[in-house]
Structure 1
Amino acid sequence: MKFNDMKQHDANDWKSRLGMVYSTDPDFRYTTDEVEEPETLPPDKQTLRVWLDRKQRAGRVVTLVRGFRGTAADLEALGRMLKQRCGVGGSVKEGEIIVQGDHRDRIVEILLRAGYGCKKAGG
């Protein structure tokens, strides 16, 4: 490993060691409690729920997609695809995709075409 690579790695590593102050043991290796992400299930094995939500959004309507099982990167990619196909903004937070506006019917159609199991749910 080059010095610059090591320096960059150490610069980003400090956040994972916030609780550790100091160790005098020369063989000490700090381990973090990293949670392994589950593998992404194939689209035909997924059952997604599409919700319409107004709560805590200043009266604005958003479409939520919940129930995705897989890595955060795959969830981001699915969210990006849905936002592009609907032509609106949104985000991916806490395991759900948030799309601005009422696009339930369109999102269900897009997801079914992509091979996902999908149902409308909620209000």
Structure 2
Amino acid sequence: MDLKDQLKNLFPEHIPSEPEKKAPEPEIWLQDEPIICKYEKRKGKPITILEGYTGADSDFKKLAKELKTKLSVGGSFKDDKIIIQGDYRDRIMELLRDKGFKVKRVCG
């Protein structure tokens, strides 16, 4: 006999109310303008650069960490830009769209 059954025995007239379900708040601030997704080569190696985020730096750092973990690649956050090692524009754009961001592809 679990706790709910015991409570029903003690209080047979009580009707349990369901807790109110709140809509989950987004963890990261979403913006109206698109995030720019660029491709460059530095010292002969491809990199993907994300810029144009207007929210808090801490949110952008969280986004950078999440992208790096999902893609299993290295990268950094410098000068309000996320730099990801390798050409992952398509996968990054798909991940950002799933989160609710607008993304614009630049340079190819």
The answer to whether the superposition gives a TM-score over 0.5 is: yes
2:74 aligned to 89, 107, 111, which one? 89
Cα pair 1:46 1:117 within 8 Å, conserved:
yes
Alignment-derived partner of residue 61 in structure 1? 46
Alignment RMSD (CA, Å): 1.5
Count of residue correspondences: 81
**Displacement of 1:44:** 5.0
Considering fraction of residues, name the structure with more strand. 2
Tell me, which stretches of 5 or more residues in structure 2 are unaligned?
1-27
Return the alpha-carbon distance in structure 1 between the equivalents of residues 65 and 39 of structure 2. 18
The answer as to 2:27 corresponding to 1:52 is no
Return the alpha-carbon distance in structure 1 between the equivalents of residues 40 and 82 of structure 2. 12
Return the alpha-carbon distance in structure 2 between the equivalents of residues 42 and 79 of structure 1. 14
The answer as to 2:34 corresponding to 1:43 is no
Q: Secondary structure at the match of 2:87?
A: coil
The answer as to 2:100 corresponding to 1:103 is no
Question: What is the one-letter code of the residue matched to 2:38?
Answer: W
**Displacement of 1:45:** 2.2
Identical positions, percent = 35
Larger Rg belongs to: 2
Displacement over 6 Å in runs of 4+: none
Tell me, which stretches of 5 or more residues in structure 1 are unaligned?
1-40
1:13-24 mapped onto 2 (5 Å cutoff): none
Q: Secondary structure at the match of 1:45?
A: coil
Normalising to structure 2: TM-score of the pair?
0.70
Normalising to structure 1: TM-score of the pair?
0.62
